[in-house]
Amino acid sequence: MARLAVTRRGFGRAVATGAALIAAPLIIMPSRGLFAQSAPAGTIALADLNRMSLADFVAVLGETFERAPWVAELAYAKRPFATVKGLHETMFEILKAAPREKQLALLTGGVGVLAAGGASRAANIAGESKQEQASVGLDTMSDADAARFKLMSDAYRAKFGFSFVIAVMRYTREAIMIALERRLANDAATEFAAAIQEIFYISRLRVAARVTGDGMPQVNGLLDTHVLDATSGKPAVGMSIELFEFTFEQARRIGQTKTNDDGRNATPLIAGRPLPIGRYELRFGVGDYFRTRAQGLNNPPFLDIVPLRFSVAEPETHYHVPLLCTPWSYSTYKGS
């Protein structure tokens, strides 16, 4: 099989234009939202879950492993659970111990089919999955790029015999594309293990969205910043900040805020969800900030918009990206 290279410049040329787009046999198991994810029927206290009947227990957790309620049915016998993390780990161990044919059934037909671009808006996808896919921008992908994405997903299914599974809420759209291209190069055993690991991340988020109690699993990350005016030695108050997410050469603004009296972002940049793996850029309005505070500056200023481009590799951790600036210089570092 010819290798389908995905590069920042080359993805748009991965396949000839004009390919028809249909709902692709690429399966993405969603697990994070640009907005806070919520359980379909509200959250349940772990103590209440431990006292439920089998039918009610499965009603709450049956779709944690999508269209595989047998995982929840087997987990019921393991009650009571002391922690929410322990509940999820028990369910995942049940999946890992299951016969390979049951695992394969989950990979081949247990989740909603991904459709991108216009097909995503029209496709018959479950509401929860559709919302999660939209949160990463799959519904706004051009039909041409969606067709190219489909080409790689078809190649993946032809090679491995099951559809591409990824915890879409832990990745940006660019990172999903890169992961698909990278995993196409895996051997069968390595890729099967990778797909099962993605189910771990997906199901962990879904359990955390449905059940509350002691020992919650760590599922969220945090992105924030802090700006110090080095000319005064004080926090830079009122500086504008924009956050952009990259999909190859295209930057999409996903947030904006201003610094508060402590020089920190007044509203969260990314919080209450996994911090998606991918490339980002913070743009600081340094020129406008100093224009109203310093005398004798050139017009236009030496520094106007200061961009800090960085990458996220660990979705469940805290990324602190501060800025120390003057009208003529700036520095940054990875904080915590």
Tens digit of each residue's pLDDT (9 = 90 or more) over 290-335: 998 876 788 888 999 999 999 999 999 999 999 999 999 999 999 8
Q: How many CB atoms lie within 10 A of CB 129?
A: 20
In angstroms, the CA 291 to CA 297 distance is 7
Give the Å distances, CA to CA, from 285 to 19, 262, 274, 292: 43, 17, 27, 12
Q: Which residue has the tokens 């995982």?
A: 71
In angstroms, the CA 118 to CA 126 distance is 16
Residues 6+ away with beta carbon under 8 Å from 8 = 248, 249
In angstroms, the CA 298 to CA 179 distance is 46
pTM attached to this predicted model:
0.83
Give the Å distances, CA to CA, from 18 to 1, 22, 36, 51, 119: 22, 13, 37, 56, 15
Q: What is the pLDDT along the chain (336 residues), one digit of tens a residue?
A: 444 444 444 444 333 333 322 233 334 444 432 223 333 447 999 999 999 999 999 999 999 998 899 999 999 999 999 999 999 999 999 999 999 999 999 998 744 444 444 444 445 455 555 666 666 776 677 777 788 888 898 999 999 999 889 999 999 999 999 999 999 999 999 999 999 999 999 999 999 999 999 999 999 999 999 999 999 999 999 999 999 999 988 999 999 999 999 999 988 899 999 999 999 999 999 999 999 887 678 888 899 999 999 999 999 999 999 999 999 999 999 987
CATH superfamily of 221-331: Transthyretin/hydroxyisourate hydrolase domain (2.60.40.180)
Segment 19-48, tens digit of pLDDT = 322 233 334 444 432 223 333 447 999 999
* Interaxial angle between packed helices 188-210 and 100-109, expressed in degrees from 0 to 180 and rounded to the nearest 10: 70
Which amino acid type is present at position 293?
Answer: R
Half-sphere exposure of residue 129: CA atoms within 13 angstroms, side-chain side:
23
Closest CA to 130 of 141, 109, 142, 116: 116
- In degrees, to the nearest 5, what angle opens at C-alpha 198 toward C-alphas 197 and 203? 100
Phi and psi of 315, rounded to 5°?
A: -65, -25
Yes or no: say if 227 and 306 are a contact pair by the CB < 8 Å rule.
Answer: no
Domain ranges of the chain: 21-212, 221-331
User: What CATH fold (topology level) applies to the domain 21-212?
Assistant: UraD-like (1.10.3330)
CB-count exposure of residue 163 (10 Å: 0-12, 13-18, 19+): buried
Yes or no: say if 286 and 241 are a contact pair by the CB < 8 Å rule.
Answer: no
Pairing of the two strands 323-325 and 227-229 = parallel
